[in-house]
Amino acid sequence: MNNEILKVISRKSPLALLQVQEVFDIFPDIKYELSVLESYGDKHKEISLLENPPVDLFTRELDNAILVGSADLAIHSAKDLPYPLAAGLEVIALLDAFDQTDSLVSRDNMTLNNLPVGAKVGTSSPTRRKELLSIRPDVEVISIRGTIEERISLVDNEEIDALIVASCALQRLGLKHRVSEELSFETHPLQGYLAVVARKDNPKIQSLFKSKDIRLAFGKVTLVGFGPGNPDLLTIGGDKALLQADIIFHDDLLDRNFLDKYTAEKVYVGKRKDKHSFEQKDINRLLLDAAKTGKSVVRLKGGDPMVFAHGGEEIEFLQTNFVEVNVIPGVSSGIAVSAFTKVPLTHRGIASSVAFISGHSEDVQLPDTDTLVYYMAGANIRLISQKAIATGRSPKTPVMLVYNVSMPDQQEFFSTLEELAEGDTKYPTPVIIVIGDVVSLRNNSEQSVVKPLILVTGTQKEHYEQVGKVIHQPLIQITGIDPNPELAYQLEMLYQYHWLFFTSRYTVNFFFEALAKSGKDARSLNGIKIASVGNVTTQALKQVGIVPDLQASEESSVGLLNDLERLELTSGKVLFPRSDIGLPVLPDGLKRLGWEVTTIPVYRNSLPENHKPLDLKNVQMIVFSSPSCVTNFKHLYGQFPPGKQYVFRGNETEKRFKQLSTHRTT
C-alpha cells in the first residue's frame, strides 16, 4: 500500500489545503494526489452558522466522494464533523491540536475590554457568541462567513470592529501577527484537531495512519448505575468497573462511605434542585478531559444512567469527541419502589401499562397508562394530582408516595388524588409517586394496623422490626485495633488470670480473632473462668466453643456486679477486654470488691463519617443500645427531639441520656 498513491479530497480554501499539507508532513512516506471542491457550506454563504445549520454543511460533498470511490480519504477540521458520520465512513486517525484557544482580531489592535460600546464583533460560532456576550453584553454580534482571509478583510474594511477566530487557524495561515488578544474563552473540545476520514472497509488505509492516532492513548468512560441508594443493589458489573477505575465522578444519591473501598480518585459532581455543584456541560467536559489523559473513568449515577439521569447527553458528548463509552445499568428508582413497597406496577386485570415520568417541571405530562410513576416530583405533588383529576382520573384513585426508596429511612405515605389535590401536606424529598389502582393491592391489613416508625441507632435492628417499621442509622462504627501489641502481650500472659469478663459480642469477636492470630484457640483458656454480661454476649461465646461460667441475671455491668456480690465469689485477677472508650462501671466495681483488674482495648468505637441528620418528623420511637449511641446522636442532631418515645439498653445508656438531655424521658 505504501507504493500506491492515495486520492485525497479537500475543500479548496487556503486553510483546508494547509491542513492537508500538515497531515502529510506527519506521514512523509505516504504518496497522495489532491482534488479540491467546494462544499455546500462554501457555496451557500448566506447560511448563518449561528442558526443551527445542517450538521454536514462542510463535509457532505467530501463524504460522498469517498463513498462513491472517487477519493480514498478526506482531511477535516475535527470540530466540523457531523455526529454520527455518514454510514460507511469512519475517522481513521485523530491528530492532536497544537493550540485550542480563540483570538481577537480588531481594528487598531484593541483588546476586548477596550472595544467601544456597541462595537460590531464578528463570529460564526454560537459558543463564541455566548462567551462574548457574557463578558461584553453591550457589543453587537455579527454573523460572518467566508475564509479566514475574507473575515479579516471585514475588519480591515471597517465593516466590523473585531473578529473572533481560532488561534490555530491564524497560525496555520501565517497570520499570528494579526492577533490583538488571546481570549480565555471556553472553546470547542475538538478545536484545532484534524481528522482523517475514510471508508470503514479499507483496513490497509487505516493502518497507514494508525500510529499517530491520539485516540490510542485515550481512556474509556463507563456510566454505572448505582441504583436508588442501597449499596446492595449495585450490580457485579458496576462493582468491577469501580474497582478498575482511575477516577470516579459521583453524585448525591449514594453513601460516600461506600466509595472508600475503591482506590480511585473521587470527584463529587452532585446535582440537586437549586444546589448544583456542576452544570451538566461542566460534568461532560470533566469526563472528557479525564478520558483524554488516558484514565479509566467511571461516571457513577443514582438509579439507572439512561433513566432521567442525563446518560444520553453524556454518551453523545463523549462519542462526538471520540471517547469510547460503556454503560452498566442500575436499578431505577421507579422499579425499586415496587420491590421495596411490594406494590406491583402492573397486575393482571388491574393494570397492564405503566409510564415513568419526570415530575421536575411544572409542565408535567400525564400519559394514558394504568399506572403513573413520577420521579423528582416533590415540588409538584398538588399540581400533578389536580391535572390527573382534570384529565379524567377518578379523585379516589389511590396514591403512594415513597421517600428515600431502598434506604434505611425509607418512608411510605398513602393518599388519594383528591386529598393531594386539595391538601397542602409537605412530604420529605426525594420522593417517588405512584398513582393507580395497583396501590390498593398493598396489604390492607398492613395499612390498617399503623406500626410506629422506629429509629434504631445501634448496629443491630432485627429485634425491633417486629415492633414497627425500622429506620436503621447506626451511630457507632466498630473497628479492630491492628496492630495491638498490648493485647498480644496479654495473650501470652493468660496463665496468670483467674477470670475473663466479656461485656459485648464485639469484645468476644475481636478477642478470639486475636487469639487465633497468635496461634492459640479456646483450649488455651483452660483453668480460666468466663463471665458474660448477657444473652447476646453468651451467644457469641458459644459460637467459639465457650459456655460462660457466669451470665449476668440482669443484662448490664451493674447486674453482673450484683451477681458477684450475691454469689460471694472469691476475688481474683481479671482480664477485661473492652472498647477504647469503655465505661469504668464494671472495672471500678470489681476493684471495690477486691478484684485485681487489667483492662485491654480490643476495638475502637467511633461515630461513622459523613452521616447526615435524618428527617425525624414522623419517627415515634428512638432506640439507643449504648451510651456511645446517645453521645453520637447528640453530636449529629444537636438535641433530642421532644415528643418521642426513647428506649434504652442498659442503665448506663439511660444515665448518659439523662446527662445530655434537657427534657423528661418516657
User: How is 487-554 classified by DSSP, letter by letter?
Assistant: HHHHHHTGGG-SEEEE-SHHHHHHHHHHHHHTT--GGGGTT-EEEESSHHHHHHHHHTT---SEE-SS
Radius of gyration (C-alpha) of the chain in whole angstroms: 35
CA distance 276 to 292: 25
CA distance 260 to 327: 22
Q: Which residue among 42, 161, 295, 376 is the active-site one? A: 376
**Element (H or E) spanning 155, and its range?**
helix 148-156
Cis peptide before 430 (omega within 30 of 0): yes
Q: Which residue among 7, 271, 591, 644 is the active-site one? A: 271
Tell which phi-psi region holds residue 573, choosing left (phi > 0), alpha (psi between -120 and 50) or beta: beta
CA distance 226 to 229: 7
Burial (CB count <10 Å: 0-12, 13-18, 19+), residue 642: exposed
271 tagged catalytic: yes
Q: Which residue among 213, 251, 304, 409 is the active-site one? A: 251
- Given a contact cutoff of 8 angstroms between Cβ atoms, the answer to whether 267 and 248 are in contact is yes
Helix, strand or coil, per DSSP, at residue 389: helix
What is the β-pairing status of strands 265-268 and 247-250?
parallel
Q: What is the CA angle 652-656-659, rounded to 5?
A: 140
What 8-state DSSP symbol labels residue 610? T
79 tagged catalytic: no
Q: Which of 661, 656, 614 lies closest to 639, judged by CA?
A: 661
Q: How far is CA 248 from CA 54, 308, 315, in A?
A: 36, 20, 16
Q: How far is CA 86 from CA 39, 66, 75, 212, in A?
A: 15, 11, 15, 23
CA distance 363 to 518: 67
Alpha helices in 329-424 (DSSP H): 333-341, 381-390, 417-422
CA distance 574 to 569: 13
Residue type, 438: V
Which residues are CB-contacts of 594 (< 8 A; sequence separation ≥ 6)? Answer: 571
Give the chain's largest Cα–Cα span: 111
What is the β-pairing status of strands 5-11 and 73-77?
parallel
What 8-state DSSP symbol labels residue 396? T
Q: Which of 14, 13, 185 lies closest to 100, judged by CA?
A: 185
Burial (CB count <10 Å: 0-12, 13-18, 19+), residue 207: exposed
- Given a contact cutoff of 8 angstroms between Cβ atoms, the answer to whether 314 and 385 are in contact is no
Q: Which of 159, 151, 148, 165 lies closest to 120, judged by CA?
A: 159
- Residues labelled catalytic: 251, 271, 376
